[in-house]
């Protein structure tokens, strides 16, 4: 059994309306690649460093699927909304 893959996104939102459109597009996109939100807003407490204001974790069936989803032409169109509305970092990691 292969380890799950995850997108870890941290962002500072600059335009909440455009970011809202990005979030809606993600709701439609993720099921196509077997992705699901594990963390999306909610309560948080910053305990070390200077993290961004928004944290999101998305789980995929495996690491390869997480990479494939990010590299897809469909996501790259959606990502333009993320770039236009926020300063964000996305890291793809393999679980244990």
At residue 9, φ and ψ (nearest 5 deg) are -115, 130
List the structure tokens of 91: 């890291």
Q: Where are the beta strands (DSSP E) in the chain?
A: 5-13, 36-40, 54-60, 86-94
Q: What local confidence, expressed as pLDDT, does residue 41 receive? A: 80
Tell me if the pTM is above 0.95. no
Residues in the chain: 96
Q: Could you tell me the residue ranges of all domains in the chain?
A: 5-94
Domain 5-94 = CATH 3.30.70.100: yes
> How far does CA 45 lie from the centroid of its chain?
19
pLDDT, tens digit (0-9, with 9 covering 90-100), for 29-57:
999 999 999 999 889 999 999 889 999 99
Give the H or E element holding residue 94.
strand 86-94
d(CA 87, CA 90): 10
List the structure tokens of 94: 């393999």
* Mean pLDDT over the full length of the chain: 95
């Amino acid at each position: 059994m292969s380890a799950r893959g995850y997108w870890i996104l941290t962002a500072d939102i600059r335009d909440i309306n455009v970011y809202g459109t990005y979030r809606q597009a993600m709701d439609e996109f993720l099921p196509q690649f077997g992705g699901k939100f594990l963390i999306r807003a909610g309560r948080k407490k910053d305990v070390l460093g200077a993290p961004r204001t928004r944290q999101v974790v998305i789980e995929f069936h495996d690491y390869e699927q997480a990479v494939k989803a990010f590299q897809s032409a469909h996501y790259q169109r959606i990502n333009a909304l993320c770039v236009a509305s926020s300063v964000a970092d996305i890291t793809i990691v393999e679980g244990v």
